[in-house]
Chain A
Amino acid sequence: MAYQLYRNTTLGNSLQESLDELIQSQQITPQLALQVLLQFDKAINTALAQRVRNRVNFRGSLNTYRFCDNVWTFVLNDVEFREVTELIKVDKVKIVACDGKNTGSSTTE
């Protein structure tokens, strides 16, 4: 049971919107849409674990933090995301982080 963490990403939201359109036009059932999303969770988790190798550093000042249900939520200000190739500066970033060892099945997003 993979983290449903990635449903609220650009990719995950696009998928959810598309599925909602299909449900509206009666082309698929809601149950099928749910199965698609579950498959998406599995796929995105393995893809990020296996197929992504690059490393990004980031630094900023911590505004708030929270730890509940083994999920960390940070809000940082004036953050610099630094990759070898490029640098991105942002005023505010919210980071939601789950345990990488995948010890618990998380139903929170």
Chain B
Amino acid sequence: MDQNNSLPPYAQGLASPQGAMTPGIPIFSPMMPYGTGLTPQPIQNTNSLSILEEQQRQQQQQQQQQQQQQQQQQQQQQQAAVAAVQQSTSQQATQGPSGQTPQLFHSQTLTTAPLPGTTPLYPSPMTPMTPITPATPASESSGIVPQLQNIVSTVNLGCKLDLKTIALRARNAEYNPKRFAAVIMRIREPRTTALIFSSGKMVCTGAKSEEQSRLAARKYARVVQKLGFPAKFLDFKIQNMVGSCDVKFPIRLEGLVLTHQQFSSYEPELFPGLIYRMIKPRIVLLIFVSGKVVLTGAKVRAEIYEAFENIYPILKGFRKTT
């Protein structure tokens, strides 16, 4: 009867704060210090009590090693603490009659590894608090938030449309079939433009936020509906989002294209901005000498923010000093 059923016995030690890089996953972490007893042990017996004793012994060994590895494992502690607290509480729940509740383990988790994002009540003197930024451990965020400038979305109205009827009866509509096979309609609030095709599909452009884009698309659908067509609102999807911001310092584009040539293309005779094609997230950035940056190609807002956070330290490195 294995009461510690959250993890196999050999991985119990890995669930503790110092022992694993990711919470709860029984991996053989390369970070594991030798000789602490954290290397996976063969299963000696399935008696939960003895496993618990072994676990406590391992933890005491870990504490002795803790001061040597604090800086490196601070993040891992905090990440593992979430799982560890969960596991310790679940382990406590499954202890039952056994009087050996892992008090040491529990209190240790609480004081040295607070949940991410919260400041602990009793800051441990041993472990300095650093925010969890796994991608760029040493730098802080830029403090600049890109503003969304344009959202392009599509929706299917689900029925064939007679564009001439729509153009003749709706307000603020243009229809020139010789030039373009869609009705171009505009509304003032949110200020957007829609391309409405005879298949019933529609493109909505110009909104400044995802919610506005959806609202505008619904307004166009309502216009079409009021003209007598059985319009529905199927498969609304945001196809592209454009954001812009200003880093507030001039940038050496020549330097940037030299070091990041696999991502950048800079032809000042063609276009004054450097075109940076970021791989992850897949965003295209137009970077200008003035420090203004345009980000496009995002399907979600987070991609714009992530791309900017990625490029900002790079741009800081190419700040013009004159």
Contact = CB atoms under 8 A, between A and B. Distances in A.
Interface of A: 64-68, 70
**Interface of chain B, helix or strand or loop or mixed?**
mixed
17 contacts: A64-B171, A64-B172, A65-B171, A65-B174, A66-B167, A66-B170, A66-B171, A66-B173, A66-B174, A67-B173, A67-B176, A68-B164, A68-B168, A68-B173, A68-B174, A68-B175, A70-B176
| Listed residue (A65, A67, A68, A70) with the most chain B CB atoms within 10 angstroms of its CB | A68
Contacts of A70: 176
A37 B168 CA distance: 26
B172 A66 contact: yes
Contacts of A66: 167-168, 170-174
B171 A67 contact: no
B154 to A, nearest CB: 23
Q: Shortest 4 CB-CB distances between A and B: which pairs?
A: A67-B174, A68-B167, A64-B171, A68-B175
A95 B175 CA distance: 18
Contacts, number: 24
A46 to B, nearest CB: 27
B36 to A, nearest CB: 77
Nearest to A108: B168
A76 to B, nearest CB: 13
Contacts of B175: 67-68
Nearest to A70: B176
Contacts of B170: 66
Nearest to A67: B174
A103 to B, nearest CB: 11
Nearest to B174: A67
Given A67-B173, A68-B173, A70-B176, 6 more contacts: A64-B171, A66-B171, A66-B173, A67-B174, A68-B167, A68-B168
Contacts of B171: 64-66
A66 B168 CA distance: 7
Contacts of A64: 171-172
Contacts of A68: 164, 167-168, 173-175
A68 B179 CA distance: 12
Contacts of B176: 67, 70
A67 B178 CA distance: 13
Interface string B148-175: 0000000000000000100110111111
A64 B167 CA distance: 12
Nearest to A66: B173
Nearest to B184: A67
A70 to B, nearest CB: 7
A64 B164 CA distance: 17
A69 to B, nearest CB: 8
Nearest to B166: A68
Nearest to B173: A66
